[in-house]
Amino acid sequence: MDLTAFTLGDTVKEIVDILIVSYIVYQLLILLRGTRAIQLMKGIIIVVAIWAFSIWFDLNTLQWLMNQMFNIGVIALIIIFQPELRRALEQLGRGRMFSRTNAEEDQMVSQRIGQLLKAVNYLCNRKIGALIVFERETGLNEYIESGIHIGAELSSEILINIFIPNTPLHDGAIIIRQNEIVAAACYLPLSENPFISKELGTRHRAGIGLSEMSDGISVIVSEETGTVSLAINGLVVRDIKEESLISKLYEELRPKRKTIERKPFFKWKGWKR
Protein backbone atom coordinates (compact mmCIF):
# COMPACT_ATOMS: atom_id res chain seq x y z
CA MET A 1 0.00 0.00 0.00
CA ASP A 2 1.35 3.39 -1.04
CA LEU A 3 1.15 5.49 2.13
CA THR A 4 2.11 8.67 0.29
CA ALA A 5 -0.68 8.29 -2.28
CA PHE A 6 -3.19 7.50 0.47
CA THR A 7 -2.21 10.61 2.42
CA LEU A 8 -2.41 12.79 -0.69
CA GLY A 9 -5.82 11.37 -1.56
CA ASP A 10 -7.09 12.01 1.96
CA THR A 11 -5.76 15.55 1.83
CA VAL A 12 -7.53 16.26 -1.45
CA LYS A 13 -10.74 14.76 -0.09
CA GLU A 14 -10.59 16.93 3.03
CA ILE A 15 -9.92 20.05 0.95
CA VAL A 16 -12.89 19.31 -1.31
CA ASP A 17 -15.05 18.63 1.74
CA ILE A 18 -14.08 21.95 3.33
CA LEU A 19 -14.66 23.87 0.08
CA ILE A 20 -18.14 22.41 -0.37
CA VAL A 21 -19.16 23.19 3.20
CA SER A 22 -17.68 26.70 2.92
CA TYR A 23 -19.63 27.35 -0.26
CA ILE A 24 -22.89 26.16 1.31
CA VAL A 25 -22.31 28.36 4.37
CA TYR A 26 -21.50 31.30 2.07
CA GLN A 27 -24.74 30.84 0.13
CA LEU A 28 -26.71 30.64 3.36
CA LEU A 29 -25.14 33.89 4.56
CA ILE A 30 -26.04 35.52 1.24
CA LEU A 31 -29.60 34.30 1.73
CA LEU A 32 -29.77 35.76 5.25
CA ARG A 33 -27.93 38.99 4.47
CA GLY A 34 -30.08 42.06 5.01
CA THR A 35 -32.80 40.15 6.86
CA ARG A 36 -33.80 40.16 10.49
CA ALA A 37 -32.42 36.63 10.67
CA ILE A 38 -28.87 37.99 10.51
CA GLN A 39 -29.52 39.87 13.75
CA LEU A 40 -30.74 36.64 15.32
CA MET A 41 -27.57 34.93 14.11
CA LYS A 42 -25.53 37.52 15.99
CA GLY A 43 -27.55 36.75 19.11
CA ILE A 44 -26.85 33.03 18.68
CA ILE A 45 -23.12 33.74 18.40
CA ILE A 46 -23.27 35.65 21.69
CA VAL A 47 -25.08 32.75 23.38
CA VAL A 48 -22.43 30.29 22.10
CA ALA A 49 -19.69 32.61 23.36
CA ILE A 50 -21.31 32.66 26.82
CA TRP A 51 -21.52 28.84 26.76
CA ALA A 52 -17.81 28.58 25.89
CA PHE A 53 -17.04 31.08 28.65
CA SER A 54 -18.93 28.94 31.20
CA ILE A 55 -16.98 25.84 30.16
CA TRP A 56 -13.60 27.61 30.20
CA PHE A 57 -14.11 28.93 33.74
CA ASP A 58 -16.06 25.90 34.95
CA LEU A 59 -19.18 27.88 35.88
CA ASN A 60 -21.56 25.00 36.55
CA THR A 61 -24.80 26.93 36.98
CA LEU A 62 -24.28 29.03 33.87
CA GLN A 63 -23.22 25.95 31.90
CA TRP A 64 -26.39 24.12 33.00
CA LEU A 65 -28.51 27.08 31.90
CA MET A 66 -26.80 27.17 28.50
CA ASN A 67 -27.30 23.43 28.05
CA GLN A 68 -31.03 23.82 28.73
CA MET A 69 -31.20 26.54 26.09
CA PHE A 70 -29.43 24.34 23.54
CA ASN A 71 -31.87 21.48 24.19
CA ILE A 72 -34.73 23.53 22.75
CA GLY A 73 -32.51 25.59 20.47
CA VAL A 74 -32.97 23.47 17.34
CA ILE A 75 -36.77 23.67 17.46
CA ALA A 76 -36.60 27.38 18.25
CA LEU A 77 -34.29 28.01 15.28
CA ILE A 78 -36.67 26.20 12.91
CA ILE A 79 -39.55 28.37 14.12
CA ILE A 80 -37.56 31.62 14.04
CA PHE A 81 -35.99 31.04 10.61
CA GLN A 82 -39.11 29.55 9.04
CA PRO A 83 -39.51 32.25 6.32
CA GLU A 84 -35.82 32.05 5.34
CA LEU A 85 -35.82 28.24 5.33
CA ARG A 86 -38.94 28.14 3.18
CA ARG A 87 -37.44 30.60 0.70
CA ALA A 88 -34.21 28.59 0.54
CA LEU A 89 -36.10 25.34 -0.11
CA GLU A 90 -38.18 27.05 -2.81
CA GLN A 91 -35.07 28.31 -4.55
CA LEU A 92 -33.44 24.90 -4.24
CA GLY A 93 -36.50 23.26 -5.77
CA ARG A 94 -36.39 25.68 -8.69
CA GLY A 95 -32.69 25.03 -9.18
CA ARG A 96 -31.88 28.65 -8.37
CA MET A 97 -30.15 28.21 -5.05
CA PHE A 98 -26.63 28.41 -6.43
CA SER A 99 -26.97 29.80 -9.93
CA ARG A 100 -29.10 32.36 -11.68
CA THR A 101 -29.00 33.90 -15.11
CA ASN A 102 -28.08 37.56 -14.83
CA ALA A 103 -29.98 38.48 -18.00
CA GLU A 104 -33.18 36.84 -16.70
CA GLU A 105 -32.90 38.64 -13.37
CA ASP A 106 -32.34 42.00 -15.04
CA GLN A 107 -35.28 41.43 -17.34
CA MET A 108 -37.56 40.57 -14.41
CA VAL A 109 -36.51 43.74 -12.58
CA SER A 110 -37.14 45.81 -15.68
CA GLN A 111 -40.60 44.30 -16.10
CA ARG A 112 -41.44 45.09 -12.48
CA ILE A 113 -40.35 48.69 -12.83
CA GLY A 114 -42.15 49.06 -16.16
CA GLN A 115 -45.47 47.88 -14.73
CA LEU A 116 -45.05 50.12 -11.70
CA LEU A 117 -44.33 53.20 -13.80
CA LYS A 118 -47.37 52.67 -16.01
CA ALA A 119 -49.55 52.56 -12.91
CA VAL A 120 -47.81 55.55 -11.32
CA ASN A 121 -48.31 57.58 -14.52
CA TYR A 122 -52.05 56.94 -14.42
CA LEU A 123 -52.36 57.63 -10.69
CA CYS A 124 -50.30 60.82 -10.79
CA ASN A 125 -52.30 62.33 -13.64
CA ARG A 126 -55.52 61.80 -11.70
CA LYS A 127 -54.09 62.57 -8.24
CA ILE A 128 -55.02 59.18 -6.85
CA GLY A 129 -53.10 58.35 -3.68
CA ALA A 130 -51.12 55.11 -3.59
CA LEU A 131 -48.58 53.27 -1.47
CA ILE A 132 -46.65 50.46 -3.17
CA VAL A 133 -43.97 48.44 -1.38
CA PHE A 134 -41.33 46.18 -2.91
CA GLU A 135 -40.20 43.41 -0.58
CA ARG A 136 -36.49 42.61 -0.77
CA GLU A 137 -34.46 40.44 1.60
CA THR A 138 -36.33 41.24 4.80
CA GLY A 139 -39.58 39.29 4.95
CA LEU A 140 -42.74 41.39 5.30
CA ASN A 141 -45.12 38.58 6.29
CA GLU A 142 -46.31 40.36 9.43
CA TYR A 143 -47.54 43.28 7.29
CA ILE A 144 -48.85 41.03 4.52
CA GLU A 145 -51.03 39.23 7.06
CA SER A 146 -52.63 42.54 8.03
CA GLY A 147 -54.01 42.97 4.51
CA ILE A 148 -55.99 41.01 1.92
CA HIS A 149 -54.20 38.27 0.03
CA ILE A 150 -54.08 38.88 -3.72
CA GLY A 151 -51.53 36.44 -5.16
CA ALA A 152 -51.70 37.93 -8.67
CA GLU A 153 -48.98 38.53 -11.23
CA LEU A 154 -47.76 42.11 -11.14
CA SER A 155 -49.47 44.31 -13.72
CA SER A 156 -50.20 48.01 -14.00
CA GLU A 157 -53.91 47.33 -14.52
CA ILE A 158 -54.28 45.54 -11.19
CA LEU A 159 -52.28 48.24 -9.39
CA ILE A 160 -54.52 50.94 -10.82
CA ASN A 161 -57.76 49.13 -10.04
CA ILE A 162 -56.76 48.51 -6.42
CA PHE A 163 -56.14 52.20 -5.72
CA ILE A 164 -59.28 53.56 -7.39
CA PRO A 165 -61.06 55.60 -4.66
CA ASN A 166 -64.01 54.12 -2.79
CA THR A 167 -63.08 50.53 -3.66
CA PRO A 168 -62.63 47.97 -0.86
CA LEU A 169 -58.83 47.68 -1.21
CA HIS A 170 -57.78 51.24 -2.01
CA ASP A 171 -56.91 52.16 1.58
CA GLY A 172 -53.57 50.77 2.73
CA ALA A 173 -50.46 49.50 0.99
CA ILE A 174 -49.77 46.98 -1.73
CA ILE A 175 -46.83 44.64 -1.11
CA ILE A 176 -44.99 43.18 -4.10
CA ARG A 177 -42.71 40.15 -3.85
CA GLN A 178 -40.67 39.49 -6.98
CA ASN A 179 -43.27 39.66 -9.81
CA GLU A 180 -46.27 38.98 -7.59
CA ILE A 181 -48.72 41.30 -5.91
CA VAL A 182 -48.91 39.43 -2.62
CA ALA A 183 -51.43 41.51 -0.70
CA ALA A 184 -53.34 44.80 -0.69
CA ALA A 185 -54.86 47.02 2.00
CA CYS A 186 -51.89 46.26 4.25
CA TYR A 187 -51.25 48.29 7.39
CA LEU A 188 -47.68 49.53 7.79
CA PRO A 189 -45.91 50.98 10.84
CA LEU A 190 -45.93 54.78 10.96
CA SER A 191 -42.60 56.51 11.25
CA GLU A 192 -42.02 58.34 14.52
CA ASN A 193 -39.18 60.43 13.13
CA PRO A 194 -39.75 63.97 14.48
CA PHE A 195 -37.84 65.53 11.58
CA ILE A 196 -40.32 64.42 8.91
CA SER A 197 -42.07 67.37 7.32
CA LYS A 198 -45.48 68.16 8.76
CA GLU A 199 -46.76 68.39 5.19
CA LEU A 200 -46.50 64.62 4.82
CA GLY A 201 -49.57 62.65 5.78
CA THR A 202 -50.23 59.15 7.01
CA ARG A 203 -49.50 57.50 3.65
CA HIS A 204 -46.00 58.99 3.51
CA ARG A 205 -45.30 58.23 7.17
CA ALA A 206 -46.34 54.62 6.64
CA GLY A 207 -44.04 54.28 3.63
CA ILE A 208 -41.13 55.80 5.53
CA GLY A 209 -41.90 53.70 8.62
CA LEU A 210 -41.78 50.48 6.59
CA SER A 211 -38.42 51.48 5.12
CA GLU A 212 -37.12 52.11 8.66
CA MET A 213 -38.20 48.66 9.86
CA SER A 214 -36.96 46.70 6.85
CA ASP A 215 -35.05 46.98 3.58
CA GLY A 216 -38.32 47.30 1.66
CA ILE A 217 -38.76 50.09 -0.88
CA SER A 218 -41.85 52.33 -0.69
CA VAL A 219 -43.22 54.25 -3.67
CA ILE A 220 -45.80 56.84 -2.58
CA VAL A 221 -48.16 58.83 -4.81
CA SER A 222 -49.57 61.94 -3.14
CA GLU A 223 -53.33 62.37 -3.33
CA GLU A 224 -53.03 66.14 -2.83
CA THR A 225 -50.27 67.01 -5.34
CA GLY A 226 -49.97 63.98 -7.62
CA THR A 227 -46.23 63.83 -6.98
CA VAL A 228 -44.18 60.69 -6.35
CA SER A 229 -41.96 60.03 -3.33
CA LEU A 230 -39.48 57.21 -2.80
CA ALA A 231 -38.59 55.92 0.69
CA ILE A 232 -35.53 53.72 1.26
CA ASN A 233 -33.75 52.98 4.56
CA GLY A 234 -35.79 55.56 6.44
CA LEU A 235 -35.00 58.35 3.99
CA VAL A 236 -37.53 59.86 1.60
CA VAL A 237 -37.05 61.69 -1.68
CA ARG A 238 -40.08 63.86 -2.39
CA ASP A 239 -41.27 64.77 -5.88
CA ILE A 240 -38.71 62.44 -7.43
CA LYS A 241 -38.26 62.81 -11.16
CA GLU A 242 -38.91 60.00 -13.60
CA GLU A 243 -35.30 59.32 -14.54
CA SER A 244 -34.18 59.32 -10.92
CA LEU A 245 -36.99 56.96 -9.94
CA ILE A 246 -36.16 54.50 -12.71
CA SER A 247 -32.45 54.63 -11.97
CA LYS A 248 -32.86 54.19 -8.19
CA LEU A 249 -35.39 51.39 -8.45
CA TYR A 250 -33.24 49.56 -10.98
CA GLU A 251 -30.19 49.97 -8.77
CA GLU A 252 -31.94 48.79 -5.59
CA LEU A 253 -34.01 45.93 -7.03
CA ARG A 254 -31.22 44.34 -9.03
CA PRO A 255 -29.36 41.53 -7.29
CA LYS A 256 -26.04 42.86 -6.05
CA ARG A 257 -23.16 41.48 -8.08
CA LYS A 258 -19.88 42.63 -9.52
CA THR A 259 -20.59 43.22 -13.17
CA ILE A 260 -20.32 46.01 -15.68
CA GLU A 261 -23.19 48.41 -15.17
CA ARG A 262 -25.98 47.91 -17.66
CA LYS A 263 -28.86 50.20 -18.53
CA PRO A 264 -32.50 49.15 -18.09
CA PHE A 265 -34.14 47.30 -20.96
CA PHE A 266 -36.90 49.89 -21.36
CA LYS A 267 -37.33 53.59 -21.91
CA TRP A 268 -40.11 55.46 -20.16
CA LYS A 269 -41.52 58.78 -21.32
CA GLY A 270 -42.45 59.79 -17.80
CA TRP A 271 -45.69 61.01 -16.31
CA LYS A 272 -47.40 64.26 -17.08
CA ARG A 273 -48.59 66.51 -14.32
Whether the per-residue pLDDT at 3 is higher than 60: the answer is: no
Helix (H, G, I), strand (E, B) or coil at 270: coil
pLDDT tier for residue 94 given thresholds of 50, 70 and 90? low
- At residue 48, the pLDDT reads 84
Q: What percent of the chain has pLDDT over 70?
A: 79
Strand partners, 184: 148
Q: pLDDT higher for 9 or 15?
A: 15
Report the length, in residues, of the chain: 273
Q: What percent of the chain has pLDDT over 90?
A: 41
Between CA 182 and CA 216 the distance in angstroms is 14
Count of other CB atoms within 10 angstroms of residue 45: 10
Mean pLDDT of the chain: 82
- At residue 83, the pLDDT reads 67
Per residue in 157-177, pLDDT (tens digit) is 999 999 999 898 989 999 999
Per residue in 124-136, pLDDT (tens digit) is 999 999 999 999 9
Helix axes 36-56, 60-80, angle to 10 degrees: 160
Least confident of 83-87, 236-240, 268-272: 268-272
Highest-pLDDT range among 53-57, 167-171, 217-221, 256-260: 217-221
DSSP letter at 166 equals: T
**Phi and psi angles of residue 154, each rounded to the nearest 5 degrees, phi first:** -65, 125
Between CA 13 and CA 58 the distance in angstroms is 37
User: What is the C-alpha R_g of the chain?
Assistant: 24
Instruction: Give mean pLDDT, residues 103-116.
Output: 86
User: What are the structural domains, with CATH classification, of the chain?
Assistant: 3-93 (no CATH), 102-253 (3.40.1700.10)
Highest-pLDDT range among 18-32, 37-51, 97-111, 144-158: 144-158
Between CA 50 and CA 238 the distance in angstroms is 47
pTM: 0.61
pLDDT tier for residue 88 given thresholds of 50, 70 and 90? low
Q: pLDDT higher for 203 or 40?
A: 203
Instruction: Give mean pLDDT, residues 39-67.
Output: 83
pLDDT tier for residue 269 given thresholds of 50, 70 and 90? very low
Q: Which helix (H) or strand (E) holds 20?
A: helix 3-32
Q: Which residues contact 148 (CB under 8 A, 6 or more apart)?
A: 168, 169, 183, 184, 185
**Phi and psi angles of residue 238, each rounded to the nearest 5 degrees, phi first:** -90, 150
Sheet with 130-135, strands from edge to edge, namely: 148-153, 180-186, 173-177, 130-135, 217-221, 228-232, 235-237
pLDDT tier for residue 112 given thresholds of 50, 70 and 90? very high
pLDDT tier for residue 92 given thresholds of 50, 70 and 90? low
Per residue in 137-154, pLDDT (tens digit) is 888 988 999 999 999 999
